[in-house]
Chain A
């Protein structure tokens, strides 16, 4: 479950090299992407999952925290998925509606995934662009820092962070986001170095455009393709990380939940005849993972069409 950095580099090189007027890589890419069946399917799946997260509650007959006392205590028999009592996905061990909880969990997991990936991408891009643009000693120091940070077992540090600050969404976002910005920083730095000496940047520098502006206006936009692909591929990794954290019991606070928490609960009780508690959350989890993979891969292939 790791993004292949070589492909990202190749993509970055292409995106940076595409500064030829009149030829947008995006128009070609859109066409190629549409022809990629797996990627289009992935996109459709993601759209459906997002729709489920946003509007699922309209159909839910229970809230995600209500206890159904008529089901409680006999979940294996009375808590099965049923249209009649409104528990479309059945109930959890306490008699809470699994449909509403899956909607809730989907929201949290997607949020953690997207925000976490966002933080990683923004941090990585800025760090890499600044290092690459500054060059010299600053670059040296910044990249050595990245080298050092690369060797830190992040999951351990994340556990420590959650232990220290207590479990909160903010900490989860930050902690998860902090895991994967390093690769991004390296790729972006490499491309910034090659962009830096291009004429249009030189020109901007000569007429006195400040550095932060050059980075923001000229360098980052040229890396958008990488950023987009990287972010798409990062989201499922963030979701996986969150599920592991939830498994350890360090995830979000009840009555909020996430896919990881729901799956961990369902996996615990799967021997007791309540398999739906595992099946529904796992289904959404797996399907979304695929969605992001296919879209990410498709996007990359579309933007960087090597001979394949």
Chain B
């Protein structure tokens, strides 16, 4: 197991390097640069800017300098679009926000999804089952860019219950709508997966044996069925996490949360090279880490698996 973890972490380094080179090259090949703007800059000013930010170096040298800065000084460089701040600062400001509503949404999706799916399986073909299946099927495909403005309309304008956007770490009322909008579709997917996997497990021999021994149903479900039924859910968690980071773009746009999702799209559109690179590396590293965690969790739940 330890060897496996080390091997996986070792692969992270080439992965991140590939990611850096790939996005660096794509970004620099794209037409326009960070200082392309409506009033064409006088050539001298443009030259000054390029010199200041080292953009007049050859591409390989820029990549090298960049990687060097990141690895040696943990310095992700300056932002071209937000000259008052460094990329380190931008990420330090935005990432905790994304992480907060992201993890809450993740927790909500997993707990509610699993609970709902289990209930539906236990009450197979009952009204609760149909309700859960119906709701989750609908929620699963409703894009969150439709969900978000509906939430604002209902909870901010009509009911006046929640602030329509913004962010505060101290006031949970700002968290609710982002978490709901981000988690609903994954909650529904998880509920569906849990349900079908739970049905499978409930029909299996060892559960039947447990029942035959006269064990009460809730113990059967919690002690014997839940753990094996979780396996497909867990393998689904890695992708969920990644999609949630991507989905945060929508959350940031509609709820002005100031997270890194919107910052990424902006940086790509504005050719804010360093910000774009910084966020890409961060998300790449998180993806690797999270996939690894999921694999470890998987092995922990299913002792048959050996890496």
* Touch between chains A and B, by CB atoms below 8 Å: yes
List residues of chain A with CB under 8 Å of any chain B CB: 1-2, 4-7, 144, 147-148, 150-153, 155-157, 159-161, 163-164, 236, 240, 243-244, 247-248, 260, 263-264, 267-268, 270-271, 278, 282, 285-286, 289-290, 293, 306-308
**B149 & A267 in contact (Cβ 8 Å cutoff):** yes
User: Interface of chain B, helix or strand or loop or mixed?
Assistant: helix
Task: Determine if B291 is an interface residue (Cβ-Cβ < 8 Å).
Answer: yes
> Which of chain A's residues have a CB closer than 8 A to the CB of B185?
1
**A270 & B15 in contact (Cβ 8 Å cutoff):** no
**A247 & B11 in contact (Cβ 8 Å cutoff):** no
> Which of chain A's residues have a CB closer than 8 A to the CB of B199?
308
Among the listed A155, A268, A270, A308, which residue makes an inter-chain contact with B203, where contact means beta carbons less than 8 Å apart? Answer: A308
Task: Determine if B177 is an interface residue (Cβ-Cβ < 8 Å).
Answer: no
Q: Spot the interface stretch: B85-93, B110-118, B234-242.
A: B234-242
Taking A148-B11, A152-B15 as given, write out 15 further A-B residue pairs in contact, using a Cβ cutoff of 8 Å, ordered by the A residue number. Answer: A2-B239, A4-B193, A6-B235, A148-B14, A151-B288, A153-B246, A153-B287, A160-B26, A160-B268, A161-B26, A247-B143, A247-B250, A267-B150, A286-B142, A307-B203
User: Interface of chain A, helix or strand or loop or mixed?
Assistant: helix
> Which of chain A's residues have a CB closer than 8 A to the CB of B291?
150-151
Q: Spot the interface stretch: B17-25, B49-57, B161-169.
A: B17-25
> Which of chain A's residues have a CB closer than 8 A to the CB of B186?
1
In the assembled complex, the CB of B165 is this many whole angstroms from the nearest CB of chain A, namely 15
Known contacts A4-B232, A160-B27, A270-B153; A153/B143 CB under 8 A: no
**Distance of A172 Cα from B170 Cα, bound (Å):** 42
Cβ proximity bits B213-237 to A, threshold 8 Å, 1 near / 0 not = 0000000000000000001100110
Known contacts A240-B141, A267-B149; A2/B240 CB under 8 A: yes
**A159 & B265 in contact (Cβ 8 Å cutoff):** yes
> Which of chain B's residues have a CB closer than 8 A to the CB of A308?
199-200, 203
> Which of chain B's residues have a CB closer than 8 A to the CB of A293?
137
**B153 & A263 in contact (Cβ 8 Å cutoff):** no
Central interface residue in A163, A243, A264, by most chain B CB within 10 Å? A163
> Which of chain B's residues have a CB closer than 8 A to the CB of A2?
189, 236, 239-240, 243
**B243 & A156 in contact (Cβ 8 Å cutoff):** no
> Which of chain A's residues have a CB closer than 8 A to the CB of B18?
148, 152
Task: Write the chain B residue with the least CB distance to A5.
Answer: B235
> Which of chain A's residues have a CB closer than 8 A to the CB of B140?
1, 289
**B268 & A152 in contact (Cβ 8 Å cutoff):** no
Closest 9 A/B residue pairs (Cβ): A289-B141, A164-B30, A155-B246, A160-B26, A2-B239, A151-B288, A148-B15, A267-B146, A153-B283
> Which of chain A's residues have a CB closer than 8 A to the CB of B239?
2
Task: Determine if B269 is an interface residue (Cβ-Cβ < 8 Å).
Answer: yes
Task: Determine if B33 is an interface residue (Cβ-Cβ < 8 Å).
Answer: no
Known contacts A148-B11, A263-B143; A306/B268 CB under 8 A: no
**Distance of A299 Cα from B269 Cα, bound (Å):** 41
B residues 111-144 near A (Cβ < 8 Å) are 137-138, 140-143
In the assembled complex, the CB of B53 is this many whole angstroms from the nearest CB of chain A, namely 20
**A286 & B240 in contact (Cβ 8 Å cutoff):** no
Task: Determine if B264 is an interface residue (Cβ-Cβ < 8 Å).
Answer: yes
**A285 & B145 in contact (Cβ 8 Å cutoff):** no
**B141 & A153 in contact (Cβ 8 Å cutoff):** no
Task: List 16 A-B residue pairs with CB atoms under 8 Å apart, sorted by A's residue number.
Answer: A151-B12, A153-B242, A153-B245, A153-B246, A159-B264, A159-B265, A160-B27, A160-B276, A243-B143, A248-B265, A264-B145, A267-B149, A268-B149, A289-B141, A307-B203, A308-B203
> Which of chain A's residues have a CB closer than 8 A to the CB of B191?
none
**B143 & A244 in contact (Cβ 8 Å cutoff):** yes
> Which of chain A's residues have a CB closer than 8 A to the CB of B203?
307-308
> Which of chain A's residues have a CB closer than 8 A to the CB of B23?
156-157, 160
> Which of chain B's residues have a CB closer than 8 A to the CB of A148?
11, 14-15, 18
Among the listed A5, A144, A247, A271, which residue makes an inter-chain contact with B153, where contact means beta carbons less than 8 Å apart? Answer: A271
**Distance of A31 Cα from B243 Cα, bound (Å):** 37
> Which of chain B's residues have a CB closer than 8 A to the CB of A155?
242-243, 246
B residues 84-104 near A (Cβ < 8 Å) are none
Task: Determine if B29 is an interface residue (Cβ-Cβ < 8 Å).
Answer: yes
Task: Determine if B179 is an interface residue (Cβ-Cβ < 8 Å).
Answer: no
Known contacts A153-B280, A163-B268; A248/B249 CB under 8 A: yes
> Which of chain A's residues have a CB closer than 8 A to the CB of B141?
1, 236, 240, 285-286, 289-290
**Distance of A248 Cα from B248 Cα, bound (Å):** 12
Task: Determine if B34 is an interface residue (Cβ-Cβ < 8 Å).
Answer: no
Known contacts A144-B11, A151-B287, A270-B149; A163/B30 CB under 8 A: yes
In the assembled complex, the CB of A181 is this many whole angstroms from the nearest CB of chain B, namely 14
Task: Write the chain A residue with the least CB distance to B203.
Answer: A307
> Which of chain B's residues have a CB closer than 8 A to the CB of A5?
235
